[in-house]
Amino acid sequence: MEVIITGGGIAGLTLALATHASGAAKRIRIFEAAPDIRALGVGINLGPHAIKELSALGLEDALVAASCQPQDYAFFTRHGQLVYREPWGKAAGHQWPHISILRSELHRVLLDAVNERIGGANFITAHRCVGVEQSEVNVTAHFAGPDNAVRAPQSGDVLIACDGIHSVVRAQFYRDEGPFAYRGTNLWRGVTRRQPFLTGRSIARIGARHSTMIIYPIRNNIDAAGNQLVNWVAEIEREVAVPVDWSKPGQLEDFYPVYQDWSFDWLDAAEMIRSAEQILSYPMVDRDPLKRWTFGRVTLMGDAAHPMYPQGGNGGAQAIIDAATLGRLFETESDPAAALKAYEATRLPATSRIVLQNRSAPPNVIVDTVEQRTGGKRFEKLEDVITQDELRGIFERYQKVAGYHVTQIAQSQAQR
């Protein structure tokens, strides 16, 4: 079997490795639009559900060496008052860690493995897929270079479109999809060098829907003073969306006023924002779940298949699970087109549920519930507002749909 993958991001690289591990492919080629790989200096969270899959591909040690592994997840009101905290990752009983990592490091680990196992010649840059066509016997992808010059078309038995949120292949099958759905929230994110906060291995989520921050370390001991690289994301309700562009620089004055008094005894969030090395902006956008991803010898994967609101740390994780699922199906299905269909049957319903949950019940629903009851004011005693059991129940329900509750990952391991 000859496999063509368009897009060398999280989904494309993981799929190449999973397909290689299946032993079912004679040749695997990844065509990436960018002429070279840019290192975006921001972080990403990957839960145990994703690390389980990357671990099966032999990448856990390399990822752990390049990342932080949070041990607790803590929720605070916008006044910095602790609402709820629970153990996270291995500390919560997972067999695999949760990792927080620079995107460029995640990409490096994946690409190193691709180069070593599949060969650097099969990772082909400066090839932007501009369309696909297929016959009874094969599929052909058409490409352009960065200068729009036409590149030679390439054929294979199957093509998996991992070309991200602006997927050309998706647009070919769904010509009238229109603009992204915007929920009225923009994100600004940055990385700051600073001393560890809380346990030094904590994820902190502060505030509710109208203005929220998510903060977590992505690299330890970056200098002799024991500083960490700390990743932060600030979400604010706004009527107009910023551009849907991953690498769009953000301006401090567009969001800082909301956070300027967020100085708590456990973290000076305002100072952390002011000291950021780089700030990027992104809108909270997604698309309605599709009814179909697979068209004969072509299927969609990752953000091309199921763009979701970037919250709850799950878009990249779901892309990894997509890739691992299809890799396993290549091993068991002798007909590659049947494998694509079976992949869709497994992954489409699961990811559609997450897309919809992220719209209606984002993870900050915990603090939202508290702030609704206090009218956004400081509370005297939390137990007069809400019980820890109720908070645990809210977070547990969220995690179960997101697919990273400790019982689910243990279960799916047992079923293998």
Ligand X SMILES: Cc1cc2nc3c(=O)[nH]c(=O)nc-3n(C[C@H](O)[C@H](O)[C@H](O)COP(=O)(O)OP(=O)(O)OC[C@H]3O[C@@H](n4cnc5c(N)ncnc54)[C@H](O)[C@@H]3O)c2cc1C
- Interacting residues with ligand X (CB under 6 A): 6-12, 31-34, 44-46, 128-129, 162-164, 168, 187, 189, 282, 302-304, 310, 313-317, 319
Q: Shortest gap between Cβ of 46 and ligand X (angstroms)?
A: 6
Q: Shortest gap between Cβ of 6 and ligand X (angstroms)?
A: 4
Q: Shortest gap between Cβ of 37 and ligand X (angstroms)?
A: 8
Residue among 336 and 403 whose Cβ is closer to ligand X: 403
Residue among 126 and 382 whose Cβ is closer to ligand X: 126
Tell me the two tokens of residue 392.
């645990």
Q: Shortest gap between Cβ of 79 and ligand X (angstroms)?
A: 25
Residue among 34 and 62 whose Cβ is closer to ligand X: 34
Q: Shortest gap between Cβ of 70 and ligand X (angstroms)?
A: 12
Q: What is the 3-state secondary structure (H, E, C) of the chain?
A: CEEEEECCCHHHHHHHHHHHHHCCCCEEEEECCCCCCCCCCCEEEECHHHHHHHHHCCCHHHHHHCCECCCEEEEECCCCCEEEEEECHHHHCCCCCCEEEEHHHHHHHHHHHHHHHCCHHHEECCCEEEEEEECCCCEEEEEECCCCCEEEEEEECEEEECCCCCCHHHHHHCCCCCCCEEEEEEEEEEEEEECCCCCCCEEEEEEECCEEEEEEEEECCCCCCCCEEEEEEEEEECCCCCCCCCCCECCHHHCHHHHCCCECCCCEHHHHHHCCCEEEEEEEEECCCCCCCCECCEEECHHHCCCCCCCCCCHHHHHHHHHHHHHHHHHHCCCHHHHHHHHHHHHHHHHHHHHHHHHHCCCCHHHHHHHHHHCCCCCCCHHHCCCHHHHHHHHHHHHHHHCCCHHHHHHHHHHC
Q: Shortest gap between Cβ of 171 and ligand X (angstroms)?
A: 10
Residue among 286 and 368 whose Cβ is closer to ligand X: 286
Q: Shortest gap between Cβ of 334 and ligand X (angstroms)?
A: 27
Report how far apart, in Å, the C-alpha atoms of 315 and of each of 11, 128, 352, 355, 374 are: 10, 22, 12, 9, 32
Q: Shortest gap between Cβ of 83 and ligand X (angstroms)?
A: 21
Q: Which residue of the chain is nearest ligand X when measured via CB?
A: 9
Residue among 315 and 336 whose Cβ is closer to ligand X: 315
Residue among 32 and 53 whose Cβ is closer to ligand X: 32
Q: Shortest gap between Cβ of 319 and ligand X (angstroms)?
A: 4
Residue with tokens 């997927």: 167
Q: Shortest gap between Cβ of 374 and ligand X (angstroms)?
A: 29
Sequence-ordered list of residues with C-beta below 8 angstroms from that of 343, at least 6 positions apart, any chain: 293, 294, 299, 322, 325, 326, 329
Q: Shortest gap between Cβ of 304 and ligand X (angstroms)?
A: 6
Residue among 1 and 124 whose Cβ is closer to ligand X: 124
Residue among 169 and 385 whose Cβ is closer to ligand X: 169
HSE-CB for 339 with a 13 A CA cutoff: 25
Residue among 198 and 218 whose Cβ is closer to ligand X: 218
Residue among 144 and 382 whose Cβ is closer to ligand X: 144
Nearest to 208 by CA among 103, 306, 79, 117: 79
In the sheet where 211-219 sits, what is the strand order? Answer: 82-87, 72-76, 202-208, 211-219, 228-237, 181-194, 278-286
Residue among 7 and 156 whose Cβ is closer to ligand X: 7
